[in-house]
Amino acid sequence: MAEPANVTSPLSNASTVAIIGAGLSGLACAHRLAQHGVNVQLFDKARGPGGRMSSKQRPTATLDLGAQTFTVRDARFAHKVAEWQAAGCVAMWPVHRYQASASGWQIHDDGQVRYCGAPRMSAITRHLADTLSTFHHASISLETHIAALDKITQGWQLKDTNGEQYGPFDHVVISAPPPQAKALLAGWEPTLSAACEARPQRGCWAAWAIFDSPFPTLSGVDTDWQSLHTQHPALRLVSRNHTKPGRESQPESLSLLAQLDWSDAHIELAPEDAAQQLLDAFTSLMPEQTPLPGLVDLGAHRWRYAQPAIAGSQSFLYSESGLSLCGDSFRGSRVEDAWLSGDGLGEALLGRSVY
């Protein structure tokens, strides 16, 4: 259930809504509102939509550094994923999964079907942004860092880091991670601010490595292995980006996602040091210390707010003041959670029954 209060007057075609954050949750909320005629404007500080589903473009390869794959459990999300598959921005991946432990590499099959964006994870959010632009009453302002909110007679006004103002808006949705949302809420909504305080976040390092030739064949392992789950204290997951749908022509290229405990302990590392330590961890897991091909490119990205430290009990939060919160931090850490949170908030703000 949404808390802390019911929406006293559901949004209508005359309503204006600002959504801060063009990740999956913010885009899902925007879609739901725009489909029912609400005037929506999204703001994001990045150059493109995506949030933690964004991709890294390097000269020779595209790499996913946030979410690598996602599963489907909820029927409503399953319907949406089917739409994305039909649109060509989602495909099943991986199908050749392994796990590495002290006893070596074994096939890893947990019975879950997994999907990824095609040809990159950000293809999903870009598809949502493109389709949102077909509504004349919806727009996205990128490279716009909203720094403050102000309550005025006509509603809410937003101010970016350059001092430019936007609004007024009847309602403001914040889909940013709780620490960033709390800074925007300031003294406007103590209950929502306290909810953000109660949702601590964990960081995560994500590295990339690009090589000049394919890996050698490993004994007992499929040549086209696609992902590797590990029990290494530093390294959690390895994805071979060039095996993802639509990226077959790029060179051998890895995403290396760190363990959360290791990331928390090393969150202030220099990116080049984090990248090298994660690559060293992967090298140590290669059977019989198999040498890697020549390294072309190595780097790392720090997600300071990667996922909630504890699972949430509510999908979203809103108040009668015209402010609301959504995102995977309010439901769980999965891609599905992010979409369900944003879509559910949109339904609630429309005064419709919430699933």
Cβ(171)–Cβ(349) below 8 Å: yes
For the segment 195-220, the average pLDDT, to the nearest whole number, is 94
Instruction: Calculate mean pLDDT across residues 67-81.
Output: 97
Determine which of 46-50, 82-86, 118-122, 242-246 has the lowest per-residue pLDDT on average: 46-50
CA 62 to CA 71: how far, in whole Å? 22
Whether 316 has a pLDDT exceeding 50, the answer reads yes
| Domains of the chain as residue ranges with CATH | 3-349 (3.50.50.60)
pLDDT tops 70 at residue 7: no
Inform me whether the pLDDT recorded for 201 exceeds 80: yes
pLDDT of residue 354: 66
Mean per-residue pLDDT, 83-101: 96
Closest-CA residue to 328 (of 316, 318, 346): 316
pLDDT (tens digit, 9 = 90+) per residue, 225-280? 999 999 999 999 999 999 999 999 999 999 999 999 999 999 999 999 999 999 99
Per-residue pLDDT band for 101 (boundaries 50, 70, 90) equals confident
Q: Which amino acid appears at position 294 of this protein?
A: G
Q: Residue 3's pLDDT is what?
A: 43
Burial class (CB in 10 A: 0-12, 13-18, 19+), 74: middle
Amino acid 8: pLDDT: 52
User: Which of 355, 105, 72 minimizes the C-alpha distance to 227?
Assistant: 105
CA distances to 130, 260, 342 from 264, in Å: 36, 6, 28
Helices (H), 157-211: 178-185, 190-197
Task: Say if residues 3 and 314 touch (Cβ distance below 8 Å).
Answer: yes
Considering the chain, what is the average pLDDT of its residues?
A: 93
User: Span 15-27, mean pLDDT?
Assistant: 96
The larger pLDDT score, comparing residue 11 to residue 342, is at 342
Number of H helices, E strands in the chain: 8, 21
The CA-atom distances, in angstroms, between 203 and each of 176, 206, 299, 331 are: 15, 10, 17, 18
- Over 80: is that where the pLDDT of 111 sits? yes
pLDDT at 272: 98
Does the pLDDT at position 327 exceed 90? yes
- Asked if 355 and 40 count as a contact pair (C-beta separation under 8 A), the reply is no
What are residue 104's DSSP bridge partners? 101
Q: Would you place residue 1 in the very low, low, confident or very high pLDDT band (cuts 50, 70, 90)?
A: very low
Q: What is the mean pLDDT of residues 165-190?
A: 94
**pLDDT at position 6 over 70:** no
| Cβ proximity of 221 and 90 under 8 Å | no
Give the position of tokens 């979409």: 339
pLDDT of residue 355: 59
Q: Is the pLDDT of residue 102 over 50?
A: yes
Rounded to whole angstroms, the Cα distance separating 91 from 245 reads: 7
Q: Is the pLDDT of residue 159 over 60?
A: yes
What SS3 class is residue 210?
strand
* Res. 169: pLDDT tops 90: yes
Q: Summarize the chain as % helix, strand, coil (round to 5).
A: 30, 30, 40
Task: Identify the band that residue 138 occupies on the pLDDT scale cut at 50, 70 and 90.
Answer: very high
pTM: 0.94
pLDDT score of 287: 82
